[in-house]
Each structure stands twice: as structure tokens, then as C-alpha cells.
Amino acid sequence: MNLKDLVRTIPDYPKKGIMFRDITTLMEHPVGFRRTVDEMVQPFADSAITRVAGIEARGFILGGAVAHQLSIGFVAVRKKGKLPWQTISVEYELEYGTDEIEIHIDSIEPGDKILLIDDLIATGGTAAAAAQLVRDAGGYVVGASFIVDLPDLGGRARLEAMDVPVRALMSFEGD
């Protein structure tokens, strides 16, 4: 089974010229979803990971499954204002402005080995901010794992420049 065949491409969504890569079709496929989770974990299996950090929102689904498979805790990386308790945050640049993500102040212990999880890496802004947030909390990012990489947008290179190993199950050229 080729996992890439299970990803639906929707032309001109959310705007004209964009080829949207829809992973919901992959997650709806029981064997494909199981294999996806297995392959996201495999390269980091010997890294003594202590927690998985999932980036809002699809990273929650995937990260929860990965954390369950590894029998470790899950850290929710959320947009500012969505977590109910004390947080630490990182602001990062967007194409037209800034955004902010946060975690609870007690979700990462100093020295924790964290695997970042999200569905897709494009420009890498949110993933780079999540890696910085983990480091600010005293954790160590052992790697970042994604289903889809859009290499033309440079996200992988951005994370690798931060010394974060990147795993992507597939890539699509273009936007």
C-alpha cells in the first residue's frame, strides 16, 4: 500500500492556485492510519522519548496516537488563549503578521526528550516555534515527524537548521 495514494488532493483550496493535501482520507483508512502512526514513530523509536508534543489541531490526533503507541505522555501545543492553566508561549512570524503558541508550564520537565508531531510541514514557522517552546521549557527535541512535507516552502530546512531531525512520510512539490 502506498500511503501517498490515500491522501486526497483538492485543487484551488482554500484559494485559487493552492493544491490542498487532505489527510483525512488517510486517517479514515484503518490500515493506512495504523501504518502512518508506525512510520512516524519508527525512526525515533530508540531515542528514549519521554513525551510527544502535538501541534494543534491535526497534530493532536496523530500525536495522541503516537504517544499511546509509545506509552508516554502527550503535550498539547495550542494557539494562545486556548489552554486553561498557566502557560509559557512563543511568538513567531507569519507571512502577514505574527501568531503565538503555548503549552502549560508543567507539561515538560527539564531534560524531557520530546518528539514533535504534526500532519504537514510547509514553511515550518509553527513547527520551529514549537521546537523553541520545548527548549524554553527545558526539554530536548529529538525530532519532528510529519505525514506531508512541502519541500518547496522550506520548512524541513528551517527545522534542520535548528538541529531538529525531520521525518516526513511523503512530499508533494509545489504549494
pLDDT digits (tens, 9 = 90+) for 103-156: 999 999 999 999 999 999 999 999 999 999 999 999 999 999 999 999 999 999
* Single-letter amino acid, residue 1: M
The mean pLDDT value for 11-20 works out to 92
Q: Which residue has the cell 485543487?
A: 11
- Bridge partners, residue 150, by sequence: none
The mean pLDDT value for 65-73 works out to 96
What is the model's pLDDT at position 90?
Answer: 97
The mean pLDDT value for 32-50 works out to 95
What is the model's pLDDT at position 175?
Answer: 57
For the question of residue 58 being annotated catalytic, the response is yes
For the question of residue 35 being annotated catalytic, the response is no
Band of residue 45 on the pLDDT scale cut at 50, 70, 90: confident
CB 90 within 8 A of CB 108: no
The mean pLDDT value for 151-164 works out to 96
Prior bond to 57 cis, omega within 30? yes
**The pTM of the whole model exceeds 0.85:** yes
Q: Which residues contact 67 (CB under 8 A, 6 or more apart)?
A: 51, 52, 54, 73, 74
Q: Of 8, 34, 91, 95, which one is the catalytic site residue?
A: 95
Fold of 37-171: Rossmann fold (3.40.50)
Show the CA angle centred on residue 115, arms to residues 87 and 137, nearest 5°. 30
Q: In the chain, count H helices and then E strands.
A: 5, 9
Segments of the chain assigned E as strands = 8-11, 19-22, 51-55, 73-79, 87-94, 97-104, 113-121, 140-149, 166-171
Q: Of 21, 51, 58, 167, which one is the catalytic site residue?
A: 58
Say if residue 67's pLDDT is above 90: yes
Say if residue 94's pLDDT is above 90: no
CB 65 within 8 A of CB 37: yes
Say if residue 81's pLDDT is above 70: yes
What is the model's pLDDT at position 162?
Answer: 98
Say if residue 18's pLDDT is above 60: yes
